[in-house]
C-alpha cells in the first residue's frame, strides 16, 4: 500500500480513488493506515466476501465512472504501467 | 512414447487450473457492488459512480508486504 500512497497524487490527477481491500478489521486498518500515513481508505472485507466476487489473490480492478471494470491487474501492480493504462483508457 | 490420452488429460487439467485462477469479474462487466466498513467509515462502491473512477486494490493483509 505504500506504493499506492507514493503515487496517490498521480491517481488523483486521473480522478481515480484508490481503495485498498483486505480481510482485516477496521481497527487494524486504522492502525495500518496511520502507521503508513495512508490518505486513501482501506476497506474491511471479513471472510473475503467482496473479493470472492472479483478475483483471488493480489489483484486490482480499475472501475470507471459508469461502474464498469476497464482494467484488471494481477500480482503486485507496477504503478507506472497502471497509471499509463488508466490514462489511455480515459482518453 | 507420448500417449495422446495422457496428453489430452494433461491439457484438460491445465485448462481447468487456469480457469480456477481466473478472476471472477471480467473487463467490460459492471463491477460487483459492495458496501463495507473502512478505515474512514462506511463505503459504498456506488457512491463513486459518476464522480470518480476507482482502483480497487485487493491485498492479503495489513502489516505485510503483500
Give the pLDDT confidence of A10-68 residue by residue, as tens digits.
999 999 999 999 999 999 999 999 999 999 999 999 999 999 999 999 999 999 999 99
Q: Cβ of A16 under 8 Å from any chain B Cβ?
A: yes
Residues spanned by the domain of A50? 2-90
Do A79 and A3 touch, CB atoms closer than 8 A?
yes
H/E stretch holding A5 reads: helix A2-6
> What is the count of structural domains for chain A?
1
CB contact under 8 A, A62 and B53: yes
Distance, in Å, from the CA atom of A9 to the CA atom of A23, rounded to the nearest integer, reads 26
Question: What is the predicted ipTM?
Answer: 0.97
Give the separation between CA A64 and CA B60, rounded to whole angstroms: 24
Between B1 and A53, the more confident residue is A53
CA distance B14 to chain A (A): 18
Are residues A69 and B59, on separate chains, in Cβ contact within 8 Å?
no
Q: Which three cell numbers stand for residue A11?
A: 491517481
For B49-66, how does the pLDDT look when each residue is reduced to its tens digit (9 = 90+)? 999 999 999 999 999 875
Query: What CATH number corresponds to the domain at position A39?
Result: 3.40.30.10
Cβ contact, residue pair B27, A74, below 8 Å: no
E strand or H helix at A89 = helix A79-90
pTM for this predicted structure? 0.86
Amino acid at each position: 500500500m505504500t506504493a499506492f500512497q507514493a503515487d496517490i497524487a498521480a491517481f488523483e490527477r486521473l480522478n481515480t480513488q484508490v481503495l485498498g481491500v483486505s480481510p482485516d478489521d477496521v481497527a487494524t486498518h486504522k492502525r495500518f493506515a496511520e502507521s503508513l500515513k495512508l490518505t486513501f481508505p482501506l476497506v474491511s472485507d471479513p471472510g473475503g466476501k467482496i473479493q470472492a466476487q472479483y478475483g483471488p489473490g493480489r489483484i486490482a480492478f480499475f472501475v470507471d465512472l459508469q461502474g464498469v471494470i476497464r482494467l484488471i491487474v494481477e500480482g503486485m501492480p507496477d504503478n507506472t504501467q497502471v497509471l499509463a493504462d488508466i490514462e489511455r483508457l480515459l482518453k | 512414447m507420448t500417449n495422446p490420452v495422457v496428453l489430452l488429460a494433461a491439457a484438460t487439467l491445465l485448462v481447468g487450473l487456469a480457469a480456477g485462477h481466473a478472476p471472477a469479474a471480467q473487463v467490460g462487466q459492471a463491477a460487483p457492488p459492495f458496501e463495507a466498513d473502512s478505515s474512514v467509515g462506511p463505503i459504498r462502491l456506488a457512491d463513486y459512480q459518476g464522480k470518480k473512477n476507482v482502483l480497487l486494490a485487493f491485498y492479503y493483509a495489513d502489516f505485510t508486504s503483500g
